[in-house]
Amino acid sequence: MASAAAGQINTEELPSWGSRSVDCFEKLEQIGEGTYGQVFMARETRTGEIVALKKIRMDNEKEGFPITAIREIKILKRLHHENVVKLKEIVTSTGPEGDEQGNQDGNKSKGGIYMVFEYMDHDLTGLADRPGLRFTVPQIKLLTGLHYCHVNQVLHRDIKGSNLLIDNEGKLKLADFGLARSFCSNHEGNLTNRVITLWYRPPELLLGATKYGPAVDIWSVGCIFAELLHGKPILQGRSEPDQLNKIFELCGSPDEINWPDGSKSPWYNNFKPTRTMKRRVREIFRHFDSHALDLLDHLLALDPSQRCTAKQALDAEYFWADPLPCDPKSLPKYESSHEFQTKKKKQQRRQTEEITKGSKSQHYHKHYRLPPIQHTGQAPPQWYGPNHPINDAQPPLSAGPSHHHYGKLHGPPGGPSRYPPGNQGGPYHLNRGGQVGGYSGGPYPPQGRAPPYAGSGMAAPSSRGAPGVYGVGPPNYSQTNQYGIPAAGRGVNIRNQQYGRQ
């Protein structure tokens, strides 16, 4: 297959579509604002079919067609599975475009390229954010799409709630393959470790691994899995070192048993914990059911080689014991919800509340003198247990190709990063939730700096720690918990069942 010249899209490598104009669609509403462009709900004027149009951001025309879009198109062209979002075609616009309100699109009026996807009613972040909605256990059991990707040698590398789309039939599909790439099972080539949104990024990438495989996605699945059961993201690091620290606090510090090769990681010496931490997964999530806990333990194994595969996860007792997954069709139907919309609504709600508060306080100042607020000392209600909504905290953006275009590569070494325009600082300052990263700039890990954990009261790692997890034998946690969850995990129970197409 011919390859594209720098800065050019090679149409031979793209689907044969692209001949139709975006005018065949009527934009109805913006439903997403990604790193790479806006996503609209749209109607095909001829058939009335509702689709999602993802406009490919071409901010810097000199750098050509974004490499992330090329990757996404090429990979999606290969993947056909009911749990992977379907790319239907590519359409183009040649002239000035209006947005869904008919406004002209400023300086981006020279035309554009859109990916046309089947429309999905929700993304997991948007859906989980609905007030009053509670997840039930069976709704979250979907690893089939990922298993399909992995057997087809594709790593997703950006698994997070907003990239998991759900329709009103309860079907879940993996989306956003902008950071995805093919991999070789023998891990021959070097890959960038600056992928996956920080809160979902596995320890091996944070420690500089450039040879890795499907286990990186499995870690993210573990984070999402626990998030859905726990009600909020479980590892909300503010910077890479902070993320690693949070991982070690939960999963234990690396040692000879839980991650024999951990100390060989490229950046281990920069980031090794200075005290031994024991694994606390079973203690912290003792409110989960025991099958869920067994599975989580295998998904969140520190050592990527001890982490279970998507197939093994699907075979876990959790998915086979009562309550069995319900027929997705029997799930309740909800008005569409995407992260972008729910964020917007929240913002509006906050503004209204502030206005109301403002006018109320003015009113009170005019007429009453209120007594000081009495604090009862009661904490606000806490979410515990399986059926709680994901909170509205937003993870920092995923790292990834910043100059995701063929041609020039700029930025820090170790792989370019994926930032929205205007955020030039790299993942160490950039965040969606207003959080600030640990470094003031420069490549990661910082050159010539002391270990970031120095002074945090941590001691040198020892060989003691959590016992082995998957592949080494069942965990042998010394603690039982008040809910009577057994101290020793049962291990993932493999049944030779077929999932997806192989």
User: Applying CB under 6 A, what is the total number of residues that bind ligand ATP?
Assistant: 25
Per-residue tokens: 496: 């030779």
Work out how close the CB of 200 gets to ligand ATP at its nearest, in angstroms, rounded to a whole number.
12
Between 71 and 147, CB nearer to ligand ATP: 71
Q: Which stretch binds ligand ATP (CB under 6 A): 128-136, 278-286, 338-346, 446-454?
A: 338-346
Residue 314 as a binder of ligand ATP (CB under 6 A): the answer is no
Residue with the shortest CB distance to ligand ATP: 34
Query: How far apart are CB 441 and ligand ATP at their closest, in Å?
Result: 22
Within 83-102, the residues that bind ligand ATP by CB under 6 A are 85
Q: How far is CA 59 from CA 108, 122, 236, 309, 459, in A?
A: 8, 28, 31, 38, 47
216 forms part of the interface with ligand ATP (CB under 6 A)? no
Interactions with ligand ATP, residue window 106-135 (CB under 6 A):
117-120, 123
Displacement of CA 54 from its chain's centroid (Å)? 18
Q: Which is nearer to ligand ATP, 236 or 398 (CB)?
A: 398
As separate numbers, helices (DSSP H) first and strands (DSSP E) second, the chain gives 11, 12
d(CA 225, CA 260): 26
Which listed range, 36-44, 377-385, 421-429, 478-486, lies at the site for ligand ATP (CB under 6 A)? Answer: 36-44
Query: Cα separation of 122 and 162, whole Å?
Result: 9
Are 494 and 471 in contact by the 8 Å Cβ rule? The answer is no
54 is in an annotated binding site: yes
Q: Is 194 an interacting residue with respect to ligand ATP (CB under 6 A)?
A: no
Return the amino acid letter for 137.
Answer: V
Percent helix, percent strand, percent coil in the chain, to nearest 5: 30, 15, 60
Report the alpha-carbon distance of residue 148 to residue 475 in Å, rounded: 28
Distance CA 379, CA 385 (A): 17
Phi, psi of 454 (to 5 degrees): -55, 140
Residues 161-190 that bind ligand ATP (CB under 6 A): 162-163, 165, 175-176, 178
- Residue 114: its H or E element: strand 112-118
What is the C-alpha to C-alpha distance for residues 464 and 475, in angstroms, rounded to an integer?
Answer: 14
Q: Contact with ligand ATP (CB under 6 A): which of 27, 71, 74, 338?
A: 338
Report in angstroms how near the CB of residue 121 gets to ligand ATP at its nearest. Answer: 7
Between 105 and 118, CB nearer to ligand ATP: 118
Strands (DSSP E) contained in 333-462 are 398-399
217 binds ligand ATP (CB under 6 A): no
Sign of the C-alpha dihedral computed for residues 483, 486, 492 and 497 taken in this order: negative
In the complex, what is the shortest distance from the CB of residue 395 to ligand ATP, in angstroms, rounded to a whole number? 10
Residue 227 touching ligand ATP (CB under 6 A): no
- Kindly write out the interface string for residues 14-33 of this chain, putting x where it contacts ligand ATP by CB under 6 A and - elsewhere: -----------------xx-
Query: Is 158 one of the annotated active-site residues of the chain?
Result: yes
Residue selected from 34, 231, 395, 468 as contacting ligand ATP according to rule CB under 6 A: 34
Task: State residue 123 phi and psi, 5-degree precision.
Answer: -110, 160
Q: Are strands 398-399 and 196-197 parallel, antiparallel or unpaired?
A: antiparallel
Smallest gap, in angstroms, from Cβ of residue 123 to ligand ATP?
4
Angle between helices 215-230 and 290-299 (to 10 degrees): 150
258 CA to centre of own chain? 25
Q: Does 145 bind ligand ATP (CB under 6 A)?
A: no
Q: Residue 375 corresponds to which amino acid? A: H
Shortest distance, CB of residue 20 to ligand ATP, whole angstroms?
Answer: 18
Choose the binding region for ligand ATP from 34-42, 362-370, 376-384, 478-486 (rule: CB under 6 A). Answer: 34-42
For position 417 contacting ligand ATP by CB under 6 A, the verdict is: no
Rule CB under 6 A: which of 51-70 touch ligand ATP? 52, 54
- Single out the catalytic residue among 121, 123, 129, 158: 158
343 or 429: whose CB is closer to ligand ATP?
Answer: 343
- The C-alpha atoms of residue 58 and residue 396 are separated, in whole angstroms, by 23
Give me the least distance between CB of 158 and ligand ATP, in Å please.
6
Decide if 133 contacts 197 (C-beta within 8 A).
no
Q: Read out DSSP for 168-219?
A: TT--EEE---TT-EE--TT--S---S--EEGGG--HHHHTT--S--THHHHH
User: Could you say whether residue 337 binds ligand ATP (CB under 6 A)?
Assistant: no
Helix (H, G, I), strand (E, B) or coil at 264: helix
List binders of ligand ATP among 349-388 (CB under 6 A).
none
**Per CB under 6 A, does 401 bind ligand ATP?**
no
Residue with smaller CB distance to ligand ATP, 202 or 395: 395
- Binding region for ATP: 54
What residues act catalytically?
A: 158
Query: What is the contact surface with ligand ATP in residues (CB under 6 A)?
Result: 31-32, 34-37, 39, 52, 54, 85, 117-120, 123, 158, 162-163, 165, 175-176, 178, 338-340
